[in-house]
Amino acid sequence: MKSPTLQKLHFIYPLFICLALLFPTKAFAAYFFTVDSARIQSALLMYFPLHEYRAAARLTLSEPMVTLKQGASKLQLDIPVVASIPGKNRKRGQAVADVGLYYKPSTGELFLANPIIRAFTMNNISAESREMFHASLSDILIKTLPLVRIHRVREQDLNHSLSMSNMKSMHIEDGRVRVSIGFD
């Protein structure tokens, strides 16, 4: 006859194996949060409108409109643009940028990152001007958007140190950006 302790071990050991297979250790280390478009929009308002003086024109980028598309891995910003060209009228246009996210582990902050202008339209300008404005807009967004903090994770929300964490995933679901923070 087996001792009661040995009987318990025969029960606990298979249970532990099953739990370990069903829930790997990294699953316990994840922290999820969501950010809605209104929060991103309000963070952007602290930086826009942007004014940039270039040799050919003064560019003004007005407040972007945030679009969160279901299942996407990037945010979309629709940015109204005005080019004031010396000796000519003001030209109005629109830029559409896809923007990723960057997580800074040392502070737990989530920033906008890696903007790519997917489309730029402005009527009644030359192809040369359009190309120059496109390059200028790209430069402006690359310098500005990484400064825009949209969320901050508090260390007490995690089950580990902030400095050990990194962004595991980001996707858009139900009109919100869903982010997973964990560690390796």
Express each pLDDT in 112-164 by its tens digit.
999 999 999 999 898 998 999 999 999 999 999 999 999 998 877 665 566 67
| Residue 14 pLDDT exceeds 90 | no
- SS (HEC) of the chain: CCCHHHHHHHHHHHHHHHHHHHCCHHHHCCEEEEEEHHHHHHHHHCCCCEEEECCCCEEEECCCEEECCCCCCCEEEEEEEEEECCCCCEEEEEEEEEEEEEEECCCCEEEEEEEEEEEEEECCCCHHHHHHHHHHHHHHHHHHHHHCEEEECCHHHCCCCHHHCEEEEEEEECCEEEEEEECC
Q: For 48-90, what is each residue's pLDDT tens digit?
A: 999 999 877 899 999 999 999 998 999 999 999 999 988 878 9
- Is 0.95 surpassed by the pTM of this model? no
Q: Could you tell me the residue ranges of all domains in the chain?
A: 29-182
Which of 37-51, 91-105, 148-162, 168-182 has the lowest average pLDDT?
148-162
Given CATH 3.10.20.520, say whether it is the number of domain 29-182. Answer: no
Q: How confident is the model at residue 181 (pLDDT cuts 50, 70, 90)?
A: confident
Give the whole-angstrom CA distance, residue 27 versus residue 21: 11
